[in-house]
Amino acid sequence: MTGTSAMYDLQTIGDTLAILGLQADYARAADSFDPARYAEVFTEDGILDASHCGFAVAVGRVDIAETMGNAFRQQTHNIHMTMNQRVLSVEGDRATGFAYFFQRSILKNGGRTEFCGRYDDEYVRTAEGWKIRRRVLVELLPTVMEGYDIA
């Protein structure tokens, strides 16, 4: 599948639905404060690049879980929404796509975070199913990190 082709085979439709389900699993893990579950949507060597807001690029499930664990420990409430999702191409065991997102959290210290942007994604089919190989957060509105400790 490439672009807006009107013809899709059943494999491509199934792959697209599985990738869109992966997006929902990602958001659910974030809203559940579950860093291990969050990291499981990535490949073992997956990359989470949120460097636009001061985070180090996290590489691998362990690093991703540690990075998100630090974030989740600071939060009392969180909402994460993905929308306008599109799988751009599926070619064999690789795919690309994007989704727009909005995330807001309230921190234990009274601070708050807000992120609004787009995920630019690379996906890979693994023995565990489709996983995110690389996710780059592209900032579309100014990021708010009042009281957040990046450490």
Q: What is the per-residue pLDDT across 42-96, written as a single tens digit (0 to 9) for each? A: 999 999 999 987 789 999 999 999 999 999 999 999 998 999 999 999 999 999 9
Q: Please, is 75 exposed, middle or buried when counting C-beta atoms within 10 Å of its C-beta (0-12, 13-18, 19+)? A: middle
Per-residue DSSP letter, 57? P
pLDDT 10s digits, 98-113: 999 999 999 999 999 9
Centre a 10 Å sphere on the Cβ of residue 63 and count the other Cβ atoms it contains.
Answer: 17
Residue 62 and residue 31: Cα distance in Å, rounded? 19
Residue 115 and residue 132: Cα distance in Å, rounded? 20
CB 71 within 8 A of CB 34: no
